[in-house]
Structure 1
């Protein structure tokens, strides 16, 4: 952030962490809803009732003895993802992208045997990756294959789209692209690229890495100025539906565009970070306040998405 002065940040309406925590997360998020978004399995089940698509669930491992079924389940699969239900920040996620004889090929290209994945499932159950270190559940999902139009911009990892949703209204969005620095993960703190997106069109605005502006992806070398997200209207409406599904007033909705199945929800976050503002080159506060000032809120996800596209265009 150091290339923008504090005065300029205030002018841009930047939301800081204290204000986010007190005025938005604490005020608009019921504590009772947190377990729903902090558990990926509960999230999948909840959003399914509101026509929000997620990657196909292949197996749920709740007890140690259920791990014995993993090899049989994975026998005919070329790719899948293993995730801790209560993990955060991408910890504990193992992505398998192919097979090489009896070995499974990870996204990094490394080969591992079934026994390695079974040990990983055991570690998940023991709570090695869970938010509080408590016993967890492992879920095995269908592999997300990113749409080629986006996949070419990312290094190894699947690019995703983070949308901040406030009171059911999409208010800001960015594309997250994995890099060598981020070890193939779409995590901005680890060095992924954040690309701000115009809410009205789904087109790229600005791009940052480590909070500094960039023009080209550091690994692919591709320019980041003319990216267009497919099915943008659908994605905004899908993000808006998550408000009804969870009751959370302030959250981050993480979506992907699958090559076969279109937009899908990866996960929800009740405490989304603030780097999205740097990627967009503008602050969240004006948009959050605009929603708070509405005298007649819109009742359907489609209406709220339309409002956002019309009123939060990044001109």
Structure 2
């Protein structure tokens, strides 16, 4: 039972029809899950005064079914439910790749520390004790909705950026499947180097987006079947800088943008755009450079013949310490031998 401390259900009915000022954050779609019909209805009435759209569900299974049809922006979830407890509902939502980002406020009886810890372990984003202070609840709702809107905007931006990367790949018939192979090779190297999970995710993103800046390069240059002129090469080099700007809206921009900017640097310092050398080149960029070179050598390109895996491996060894990080090359070739043996 909710037991709001600020208003009773009768007081809620007597309040003005709207309390939100025009300059406030926009309202959201909130689901209240509480088996107490009267208390849940009272809470819903109070939230509706702030122009939120509110659904009141009396049990966990009904709530989960309703969420499959229409996702709320936020869920206020009581722990005590008749069919499945709030922990199970919360855990089910947080396990799903569709609903895991919906913020959940769980409510429990005052003083039950173990209950709060269990709810947070289940994935709850916030926790309130009964009796619920409505002013505090409203502040937490606004904060969580604000964060969700920001995350939604970032997700939309990321979707656009990855769509641009696929557009670049589609421009060049010779690079079909290149991004996925590059991500595979890069992640394999990263795993063998013992990178953290966050660094691995950034590496995968960097591999998939390394050439996204080519969306700003003339298609005739990208598709050209022969060597580029010096002027064309200077234009092509700009794709690293364009790509760096494109990926800035990503939540992982700080980790991904150095890979995008520096994947054409050389170990000897004669690459572009900044002429970085050796360990000054970000590790992710060094990894992607090796993976990119191997894929370019072993797939059909208009400017180069296809090399066998053995030939490409030998060229990587020859270029280690000149073009590429010797350690990264050695790790990749070791993985390649293992992968081919298991194939």
TM-score category by the smaller chain?
under 0.3
More helix by share: 2
TM-score, normalization by structure 1: 0.23
More strand by share: 1
The structure whose Rg is larger is 2
